[in-house]
Every structure is written in C-alpha cells, then in structure tokens.
A and B are shown apart, each in its own frame.
Chain A
Amino acid sequence: MGMVHVKGKNAGNVILYALSTCGWCRKTKEFLNELGVAYDYVDTDLLAGKEKDIARKEILKWNPRCSFPTLVINNKQCVVGFDKNGIRDALQL
C-alpha cells in the first residue's frame, strides 16, 4: 500500500488512514505535523482495486464504520476522527 512517510520524532508506529478530499483528515495531518511526530499516512480514496480493499479491511479491523480519519498507534490503539485530546493521549504527549 502506498504509504507516505512524514518525518518527525518517534512516538511509536503511527499510521493515519485518510481521504485526500476530507477537511478533518487535512486538520489531523496538520495537527500531527504540529506535534512533530513521525507518521505514515495513506489517502485511501486515491487507492484503486486490491490496494483499496486491503486498506478498507485494515481500517474495518479498528473502526467498524470505516470512517475517516482513522489513526492506528502501535498496532494496538485507534483514534477515530479529528480528536486532538484523543490523539495526544494515545501518543502520550
């Protein structure tokens, strides 16, 4: 899956499932940039065919509504939506 890596300080394995067209996904990316943590993201709407299916299945594991943004931390914890406090807590910042 075409993940984009954003450099920053290590706060664990941070994966963001986003949509390129979504305002709250954009705000989530900006917030992670502000926090200065390293993360990987994928704009799920830009994927096609198998890759899109793989991403959707992965998101469904964490978030049965398959809504965006979905942030998965250390393959253990998930924050759904642009939830600043939730993200800070999950990243222990």
Chain B
Amino acid sequence: MNSRLSDDAIAGTMERLDKEAEEGGYHLNPDKEFVKNLTKGLLTNVERYGYMACPCRLASGNKEEDLDLICPCDYRDQDLVEYGACYCTLYVDDDIKAGKKEANPIPDRRPPPEERQSTTQSMMAAPKGEKEMLRLTYPVWRCKVCGYLCARESPPLVCPICKATKERFERFL
C-alpha cells in the first residue's frame, strides 16, 4: 500500500468519516486498527483512481463503472440490515458498535460483472410509463446509497444524509 499517506491524513479522514457516520445514524467499526487500515485503503484508492473505491473490491479505474462501489457503496445499507455490517466492515450496526456482536466477513452483494451494466443514461430519465400517471412540479431524485428522496430540478451536490455525491442519485419519479 502507498506509504506516502501521512498518519495525520489518515487520522483526519477517520475523524471525518466517524463524524459523518454518527450524524447520519451510522457507525464505524469499533476496531480502530481495522478502520485505520481500511481508511488507508480508501485514501490509497483516491490517489490511485481519483475516488474512494471500496478497499475490498477490485475497482476498474473507470468511475462510471465503479460508481456503485464508491464508499459508502450502494450495498452498504442492505448489508447493514441483513448482516449488521457492510462488505468491508467499515460500517457496522448498533450491536457490533456496542461490542455485543462480532463483525464477520459477509458475501459480496455486488452482482457479478456480466450482470452489471452501466445505467447512467437511463437513471437520469423519468421511469418509463409513469409520466402520465403523475404530474409533478419537480422531479424526485433518490440517493442510491441511503434512499434519501428530494424534489428539485437536479440532485443535490452531496446527499445530506450519507454524503454520497450527485452522480449516485437516480430519477425516482
């Protein structure tokens, strides 16, 4: 891993991630050493690819193909519900945070390569067949990470709940 990353940069990012997680009702793994290594991995990926690709998945380097695995990934919230932790175990539920349960490895929910497709174009269009049903003053956008909905001309630059960036939004209505 890249050793140019300073301890200060890693500690600063850990602090920010923890603050943002707690503000949104999420928790980081209580195992500080584990989180430190994951944070190092995330920052390594920022240097390498230009975005925070999941440290436990192989990024392609093409941002559009990798949008779903930019941390927090599209699969985090479902995994938190089902397993109490996300795939890389950076994020955990209340029980693991409180030390009542241990974080264990979980299967990857990300579909295999042949089932994935780049859906950026279709995601920005209104869902088919529903245009006639609803006449909305504003389109409704959905954050694919946490499900936050907002009605406005375009998605927000950053999701106010989970801090995902605007490319992670899809047209919902």
Contacts and interface: CB of A to CB of B under 8 A. Distances in A.
Interface of A: 19-26, 44-45, 56, 60, 64-68, 81-83
B107 interface: yes
Contacts of A44: 58
Contacts of B107: 67, 81
Which of A19, A21, A60 has the most CB atoms of chain B within a 10 A radius of its CB? Answer: A21
**Which 4 A-B residue pairs are closest in the complex by CB-CB distance?**
A21-B41, A21-B55, A22-B56, A67-B108
Nearest to B53: A21
B40 interface: yes
Contact of B44 (A21, A60, A66, A67): A21
Nearest to A25: B56
B38 to A, nearest CB: 5
Given A20-B1, A22-B88, A23-B89, A68 B37 contact: no
Contact of B41 (A22, A56, A60, A66): A22
Contacts of A83: 105
Given A23-B34, A64-B112, A81 B55 contact: no
B110 A23 contact: no
Contact of A21 (B34, B45, B89, B105): B45
B57 interface: yes
Interface in B41-68: 41-42, 44-45, 48, 55-59
Given A22-B41, A23-B55, A66-B113, A81 B105 contact: yes
Contacts of A45: 48, 58-59
